[in-house]
Amino acid sequence: METLAERVAHVRDRVAAALAAAGRGPGEATLVAVSKNHPAEKVREAIACGLRTFGENRVQEGLEKMNMVGAAAEWHLIGPLQSNKVRKAVGRFALLHGIDTFERILQIERAASALGEAAKILLEVNISGESTKHGFAPGDVASALERSLELPFVRVDGLMAMAPFDCPGAAARPFFEGLRKLRDRLRDATGAGLPVLSMGMSNDYEQAILEGATHVRIGTTIFGSR
Ligand SMILES: *Cc1c(COP(=O)(O)O)cnc(C)c1O
């Protein structure tokens, strides 16, 4: 059984190798360690291994761990945001990855405006078209983005997606390429910077980095099975 430190080192090596293979610089992909269903103690261990950014897919669970772990970590919400959790999440999570309705964006705008601090979000895109997946249909992202650009307290930093369940490893790569190209088209059309591409998980993060992922969300490979 490998230790957490060994697993972290292994993932870091593979991230670095994928960045080099893509001709990208060494710091160009942020490792978001997905700590959902693992206790705060594990997060502390991971911080001791040098990790800083943690992903949670439920607001309540994330807030509890934030309170236990303190300021040594940055927290991202990677799962869907329910409307009754918007006011709890805004101002606490540094980045909201899974935003997929304009109604939710308006709620985030109201909550962030009350705090006087813009909220950073990603638009989740359903690149696989699977009915079980969250996300805007690719054709609906442009209008959501355009309308979001009018809102002073919402900052759309980029896009997020998940590969189809039945496409592990290299089979996922065309979907990641599709998300990058969609981002490039939106950037050209709107002038928004959209620097962030959150894509790639334990089974496919190297493929995602080859296609330009700036944030890979890795749970199982770091923390073991949940
Ligand atoms: C759980 C989760 C991950 C991490 O998945 P692993 O396969 O364990 O690496 C990444 N992204 C989202 C949105 C998740 O819910």
Domain layout of the chain by residue ranges: 4-223
Q: Is the pLDDT of residue 166 over 90?
A: no
27-52 residue pLDDT tens: 999 999 999 999 999 999 999 999 99
Instruction: Report the residue count for the chain.
Output: 226
User: Which residues share a beta bridge with 152?
Assistant: none
Structure tokens at 140: 């609906």
161 lines ligand 1 (CB under 6 A): no
d(CA 76, CA 74): 7
Q: Mean pLDDT, to the nearest integer, of 84-95?
A: 98
Task: Specify whether domain 4-223 bears CATH 3.10.150.10.
Answer: no
DSSP category for residue 191: -
37 lines ligand 1 (CB under 6 A): no
Cα 90 from chain centroid (whole Å) = 15
Q: Is the pLDDT of residue 74 over 70?
A: yes
Q: Are 77 and 96 in contact (CB under 8 A)?
A: yes
What is the Å distance from ligand 1's center to 197 Cα? 15
d(CA 115, CA 179): 32
79 lines ligand 1 (CB under 6 A): yes
Q: Is the pLDDT of residue 218 over 90?
A: yes
- Coil vs helix vs strand at 131: coil
- Check residue 1 and give its pLDDT: 62
- Check residue 169 and give its pLDDT: 87
- Check residue 130 and give its pLDDT: 85
217 lines ligand 1 (CB under 6 A): yes
123-156 residue pLDDT tens: 999 998 888 889 999 999 999 999 999 999 999 9
Q: How confident is the model at residue 198 (pLDDT cuts 50, 70, 90)?
A: very high
E strands of 58-175, at which residues? Answer: 74-80, 95-99, 119-124, 154-160
Q: How confident is the model at residue 114 (pLDDT cuts 50, 70, 90)?
A: very high
Q: Tell me the pLDDT of the chain averaged across its residues.
A: 96
